[in-house]
Amino acid sequence: MVHATTVVEDIDILAKARKAVSEDYKPSDDEEYMSEKQQEFFRSLLKEWKNSILDAAKGTLRQLQDGPIQEADMNDRASSETEWGLELRTRDRQRKLVSKIDSALRRIDQGEYGYCEVTGEPIGLGRLIARPIATMSVEAQEQHERREKISRDD
């Protein structure tokens, strides 16, 4: 289960990355799909997103190195340990996200970024701006999720 603050934090980090790279240029449907300019936009977005995640992880590491939880009250200590558990799960989730970002950067380098891994059709700029690590079109993703749900229900 993903904690609500984890999702909000991920969205905030991506929103900040998106803002940082889209000051001068934003991909448009009026231009050639996955042109060099679009690829460079997504490369910059992915790198900015990754760097933001890594910076947050460094902050967590620094806090962990400052020492163990020192609350005298057992309730305060339990709350702190719960918060740390959530923080560490968030960082683990983001570690996996960094792997997906690296994969997306490789797809840009190989000329495969922006195309559905199932159908080969363009994923679409809107979807990629919203979820730069997307590997499937909305339709292919929905079919995939339906198949997953059916297999779970069996």
Count how many domains the chain has.
1
Inter-residue contact 13 to 49 (CB < 8 Å): yes
Residue 133 resides in a domain: no
Residue 123 resides in a domain: no
* pLDDT, position 13: 82
Q: What is the pTM of this model?
A: 0.76
Q: Is the model's pLDDT at 123 over the cut of 50?
A: yes
* pLDDT, position 57: 75
Task: Write the pLDDT tens digit of every residue in 64-85.
Answer: 656 555 667 777 767 766 776 7
Q: Is the model's pLDDT at 16 over the cut of 90?
A: no
Spatial separation of the C-alpha atoms in residues 113 and 119, rounded to whole Å: 13
Give the residue carrying structure tokens 């609500």: 4
* pLDDT, position 29: 92
Q: Which domain holds residue 29?
A: 4-114
Spatial separation of the C-alpha atoms in residues 122 and 61, rounded to whole Å: 39
Residue 141 resides in a domain: no
Q: What is the CATH number of the domain that holds 8?
A: 1.20.120.910
Residue 8 resides in a domain: yes
